[in-house]
Homo-oligomer: A and B are copies of this chain.
Amino acid sequence: MSSTRQLFELAGADDRVRFSPYCWRIRLALAHKGLPVETPPWRFTDKEAIAASGQGKVPVLVDGERWISDSWTIAEYLEQQYPETPSLFGSAEGQALARFINQWTNDVLHPAIAGVILPEIFQILHEKDQDYFRHTRETAFGATLETLAEQQETALISLYQILKPLHHTLALQPYLAGEAPNFADHIVFGAFQWARLVSDSIKLPAEEPIGLWIERMLDAYDGLARKAPKAYED
């Protein structure tokens, strides 16, 4: 029996537009490990398609008989299940410290980016997802998408401010994990890939440390992230 590996990925109205930052972490992690995968498109409201995972969000990885959800849990699963492939963490302390980067990304970086791009995400969603998205995001942010759109300039200033530690770190080394990328880089880069696939509002100078690192991450794994179709023409 040929075991098919599948990663359910959030898609926009256009099947080819895959913009979830959490899904990108796993796409990059699978590429890092050289593990092929099929990536069926999924929408926020397709709860039944991933019911076997016991919850309602992507990424969901189906590996043979196993259904695994939550990007960090999937990364740990891949690390344990495929010990002969390149490591996502490198070492026990590498994994522990990546936890902090994971939390910083989820708690600080994602909300800061979302504050800028949520109204633009809404525009590129499949029609059936729009009500769900508007309701969940407006509740989380305590503001309508229209208000967020009006406040985009302020949101951009906050974002550039919170990027300071990332800027300073990448001024000293090519990747967060050092000389080569690992899951810590996948986590943080996923956020910028999310932003660039749905919006061109966030401008990071290409010759500065974060911009240079983004270019390196776009080139990594045979240009996997660079090849991903954007939701808009640029």
Contact = CB atoms under 8 A, between A and B. Distances in A.
A177 B103 contact: no
Interface stretch (A7-15, A129-137, A178-186): A178-186
Interface in A43-96: 89-96
A71 to B, nearest CB: 14
Given A91-B90, A92-B179, A94-B91, A99 B169 contact: yes
Contacts of A95: 178
Interface in A2-35: none
Interface string A102-136: 11101110000000000000000000000000000
Which among A90, A98, A184 has the highest number of chain B CB atoms within 10 Å?
Answer: A90
A interface SS class: helix
A107 B177 contact: no
Contact of A96 (B103, B164, B173): B173
Contacts of A90: 91-94
Contact of A101 (B97, B173, B175, B178): B97
A166 B103 CA distance: 8
A210 to B, nearest CB: 12
A89 B176 CA distance: 14
**Copies assembled:** 2
Contacts of A172: 99
B96 A176 contact: yes
Which among A95, A103, A175 has the highest number of chain B CB atoms within 10 Å?
Answer: A103
A169 B93 contact: no
Given A90-B91, A92-B90, A176 B107 contact: no
A172 B76 CA distance: 14
A205 interface: no
Contact of A100 (B96, B107, B108, B166): B166
Contacts of A178: 92-93, 95-96
Contacts of A89: 93
8 contacts: A89-B93, A94-B94, A97-B97, A97-B100, A100-B165, A103-B166, A106-B168, A107-B165
Q: Pick the 6 closest A-B CB pairs, nearest first.
A: A96-B178, A97-B97, A103-B165, A90-B93, A93-B94, A91-B91
